[in-house]
């Protein structure tokens, strides 16, 4: 198992990415387990909201290069997070890279500790942040996104909050989330679902328009020469051939 499903606590179900030895990389297995858990949360009338968190020092390192998910499966997971009729809240206390940032962007609310760090590392292994752009582009600052996606630079939680990737950041992420979860518990379930539908309409328009083309682009990029060199270099812990 690569996902831990915690008991529902006063209407909040916590799902923890639980493959710390792989830095919670998005493997085919993890994507399938998380999708199944989200489906169960959506169907459970006792679940008012979902918290998506992690074990270990990384929220997610992005796609698992040893067991990458099918692009359409990853697209489906991102869309499921956006469409779920329950609010999804990300709780981050570790590092987030590449595809992990897509999970954050697909959540309705995201809070990170001040020790967490973020980076769009795709260009450094020869690919592009194609699929994760679906929830990212409508929700984050375009100038900041251009900088960080093109350079792969690392940035901190305060910057992630400034550009819209996080809702809030703080030394104690649970203290940050306490009033958020309290507010969700006080809201009517039907009203939450309809309000989320209003808030995510523009994001879903992006999925409807671009998802198939971006899944095809991702599949093509992952088999190209740059990706083969970049991923080999990553696994061999060396710089790829293009580094100057």
DSSP designation for 115: T
Scan for tokens 């692009």, then name that residue. 71
Rounded CA gap, 20 and 56, in Å? 5
DSSP designation for 24: T
What angle (nearest 5°) sits at the alpha carbon of residue 107, between those of residues 103 and 109? Answer: 130
Residue pair 79/207 in contact by the 8 Å Cβ criterion = yes
Rounded CA gap, 111 and 167, in Å? 6
**Residue 131 in 3-state DSSP?**
coil
Residue 15 in tokens: 């799902």
User: Given 33, 83, 122, 178, which residue is catalytic?
Assistant: 122
122 counts as catalytic: yes
Largest Cα–Cα distance in the chain?
56
- Give helix 189-222 / helix 71-83 axis angle, nearest 10°: 160
Residue pair 90/48 in contact by the 8 Å Cβ criterion = no
Active site residues: 122
């Amino acid at each position: 198992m690569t996902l831990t499903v915690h008991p529902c606590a006063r209407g909040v179900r916590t799902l923890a990415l639980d493959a710390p030895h792989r830095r919670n990389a998005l493997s085919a297995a993890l994507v399938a387990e998380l999708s199944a858990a989200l489906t169960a949360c959506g169907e459970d009338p006792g679940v008012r909201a979902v918290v998506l968190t992690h074990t270990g020092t990384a929220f997610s390192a992005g796609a698992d290069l040893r067991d990458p998910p099918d692009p359409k499966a990853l697209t489906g997971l991102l869309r499921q997070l956006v469409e779920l009729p329950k609010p999804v809240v990300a709780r981050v206390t570790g590092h987030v890279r590449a595809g992990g940032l897509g999970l954050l962007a697909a959540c309705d609310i995201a809070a990170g500790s001040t020790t967490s760090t973020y980076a769009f590392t795709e260009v450094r292994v020869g690919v592009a942040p194609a699929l994760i752009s679906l929830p990212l582009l409508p929700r984050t600052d375009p100038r900041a996104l251009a900088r960080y996606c093109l350079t792969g630079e690392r940035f901190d939680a305060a910057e992630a909050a400034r550009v819209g990737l996080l809702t809030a950041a703080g030394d104690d992420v649970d203290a940050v989330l306490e009033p958020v979860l309290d507010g969700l518990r006080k809201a009517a379930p039907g009203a939450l679902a309809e309000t989320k539908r209003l808030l995510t309409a523009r994001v879903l328009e992006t999925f409807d328009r671009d998802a198939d083309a971006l899944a095809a682009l991702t599949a093509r990029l992952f088999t190209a020469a740059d990706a083969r060199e970049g991923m080999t270099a990553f696994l061999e812990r060396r710089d790829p051939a293009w580094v100057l």
